[in-house]
């Protein structure tokens, strides 16, 4: 349950939207960024020191980036959480659980996803 001062907002956990495009040329995921907030958003408070400190906790809101390979047909997707500088690479064909990448930023994490997918595409298709 997510709590905000004096009220329960939601029961459960947060989530991230990940789009998969299906085509005859190969399936692929789409890059995207998103943010979720629980409760009312007060624009005037957005830049206050208290608001910035609470933002880092993830208790009131969170943001994420979906990072995807360039190649189609690679079953891999990355999910990066900006507040905690943690990313997860989900590669179900090679690993049972997502790989956790700590202490990174969105630019380095995105490059890691692209580089890993490029290597996998060469392994899966030796003509590349």
Q: Are 105 and 125 in contact (CB under 8 A)?
A: no
Q: Are 96 and 48 in contact (CB under 8 A)?
A: no
Q: How do the pLDDT tens digits run along the chain, 128 residues long?
A: 344 444 545 555 556 778 888 888 878 888 888 877 766 666 665 566 666 676 666 666 778 889 888 877 788 899 998 888 899 998 888 888 999 999 999 999 999 999 988 887 776 565 65
Residue 66 contacts by C-beta under 8 Å, 6 or more apart in sequence?
Answer: 16, 17, 18, 19, 29, 30, 31, 32, 33, 34, 77, 78, 79, 80
- Give the distance from CA 108 to its chain's centroid: 13
Residue 42 contacts by C-beta under 8 Å, 6 or more apart in sequence?
Answer: none
């Amino acid at each position: 349950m997510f709590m905000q001062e004096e009220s329960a907002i939601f029961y459960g956990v947060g989530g991230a939207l990940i789009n998969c495009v299906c085509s005859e040329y190969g399936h692929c995921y789409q890059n995207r960024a998103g943010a979720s907030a629980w409760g009312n958003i007060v624009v005037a408070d957005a830049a206050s020191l208290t608001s910035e400190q609470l933002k880092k906790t993830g208790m009131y809101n969170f943001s994420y980036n979906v990072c995807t390979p360039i190649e189609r047909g690679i079953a891999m997707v990355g999910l990066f959480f900006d507040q905690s500088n943690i990313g997860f690479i989900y590669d179900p064909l090679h690993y049972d659980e997502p790989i956790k990448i700590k202490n990174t930023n969105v630019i380095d994490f995105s490059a890691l996803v692209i580089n890993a997918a490029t290597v996998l595409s060469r392994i899966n298709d030796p003509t590349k």
